[in-house]
Amino acid sequence: MPKSSTTSGNPCHLLKILAVIGFIFGALTLFSSGAVLFGPEKAGELAGNYVGFVVWFNFLAGGLYIIAAIGLWTGKVWAAYLAALIAIATAVVAFGFAFVILRGRPFEMRTVGVLILRFSVWAGIAWAVLRCKGQP
């Protein structure tokens, strides 16, 4: 008897959960980065020494997080590749951020943690989806 996609040994049963995580992550990212970019001056002050291109990337990526999550939820093959692209783009931005701070620009340490978290989440989602051979 063939195993169903909901058996515990198959990573494919996690795709709906990953889609929900990706969607929530995207909504929170849009909210937090949007507050810094477009919100009251107080939001920017609370953000501290933020690096502009990182905040803009996070804002734009937040929309892609939601698109990828919808793709995962609806079983679109392209969602796996979008998740991988998000992880790669986040790594590129993290390297750019590292370059900027190594040149002496003030920054918030929480940005380092958030970039690591964002990369890890999307690399993990991409890995899980691609393990399902692009068949969400």
- Alpha-carbon distance of 67 to 81, in angstroms, equals 12
Residue-level pLDDT at 56: 96
Percent of the chain at pLDDT above 90? 68
Q: Check pLDDT > 80 for residue 15.
A: yes
Q: Check pLDDT > 80 for residue 82.
A: yes
pLDDT band at 5 (very low <50, low <70, confident <90, very high): very low
- Alpha-carbon distance of 134 to 104, in angstroms, equals 42
Q: What is the pTM of this model?
A: 0.84
- Please give the distance of CA 135 from its chain centroid, rounded to a whole number: 20
Q: Which of 99, 105, 96 is nearest to 49 (CA)?
A: 105
Can you tell me the mean pLDDT for 80-106? 95
